[in-house]
Copies of this chain bind each other. A is one copy, B any other.
Amino acid sequence: MNIAFTTPLPAEGFSRLRGYQLYADPEIAEVLVSTFDKRVDREMISQMPRLRLIANFGAGYNNIDLEACRERGIRVTNTPMSVVEPTAELAFALMLSVARNVCLRDRQLREGQCEPMAVMNNLSHGLYGKTLGIIGMGRIGQALARRALASGMKIVYHNRHRLPEEIERRYEAHYLPQDVLLQQADFVSLNLPYTPESHHLIGAPQLTLMRSTAYLVNTARGAHVDEEALIRALKAGQIAGAAMDVYEHEPQIADELLRMPNVVVSPHTGTGTWEGRLAMCEEVTDNILAFADNEPIKMNIVL
């Protein structure tokens, strides 16, 4: 089998594909390993006449033209398992950083601009005892809830479908309509996949509902948030701060966000640990081997 890649990936993650031709030319490739940062559009697909599987490296697959795949009968898989823990971990790290002013103080100390160390200086806000509102309570949302619960937070969530009672109990999580969640939460974290329906899920009306002491955390997809409206809300003090790993006009980050002290920015690295990258390679390998063995039941099928 011939496997093409849109992006070079670590060889040690694909040791189980020994015997296959990796980095094959597009003309002969039956499999394409794609990454979230490279569009796989109709044109690219048309240049791969033998393509039968796109094994996406990533959970989100809005980089892929699914319609074009559907027409050609090309299967699409993703890596929903290996991304869970690194992404939930970064969401939690960003939440802590923005609330506890970790990055701000580190920067101020390096620049010699920090208030002197004293008991009533450099104060921040804690997570303990606060309410976390999770929008999108899939695997990543739940992995975030697990961390937050152990950190003394109360969990409320919104999801397309309410979760089984057993899972709600595990995280002591209460289901809320989205608007109520936005009104109650001290922290709002977006953890849902991007779909046309989730476009600008958080816009001016939603930001108005949020508490002036609340923080927004986005590690999902940039276009969930109307970034202009977010900037206006931050400037007006409508919310207390924001931490984001993804941006509406990625890789562009609005200059205004980069100048705000109550914002933490991260360069789309939710899954970006070395350990996570290798786990994603292994999950891509699983999908390709299952495809080769004609075992669709073992693949993470998107299409």
Contacts and interface: CB of A to CB of B under 8 A. Distances in A.
17 contacts: A37-B117, A57-B119, A85-B128, A85-B152, A89-B126, A89-B128, A93-B96, A94-B102, A96-B97, A97-B102, A122-B267, A123-B272, A125-B274, A126-B273, A126-B275, A128-B275, A150-B151
A-B CB proximity, top 3 nearest: A150-B150, A93-B96, A126-B273
A123 B273 contact: yes
A121 B90 contact: no
A251 B128 contact: no
A11 interface: no
Contacts of A121: 267, 272
Contacts of A89: 96, 100, 126-128, 151
Interface string A1-12: 000000111100
B117 A251 contact: yes
Interface stretch (A201-209, A231-239, A258-266): A258-266
Interface string A235-276: 000000000000000110100001100001111110011111
Given A96-B92, A117-B251, A272-B124, A109 B258 contact: yes
A149 interface: yes
A285 interface: no
A168 B217 CA distance: 34
Contacts of A44: none
A106 interface: yes
Contacts of A117: 37, 250-251, 267-268
B119 A35 contact: yes
A36 B272 contact: no
A218 to B, nearest CB: 14
Contacts of A10: 120
Interface string A94-114: 101100111101111110001
A119 B273 contact: no
Nearest to A126: B273
A160 interface: no
A39 to B, nearest CB: 13
Given A94-B102, A123-B269, 16 more contacts: A7-B120, A89-B127, A93-B100, A103-B103, A103-B106, A105-B265, A105-B266, A107-B107, A107-B110, A109-B267, A119-B272, A122-B269, A124-B269, A124-B272, A124-B273, A149-B150
Contacts of A274: 123-126
A164 interface: no
A70 interface: no
Contacts of A92: 96, 151
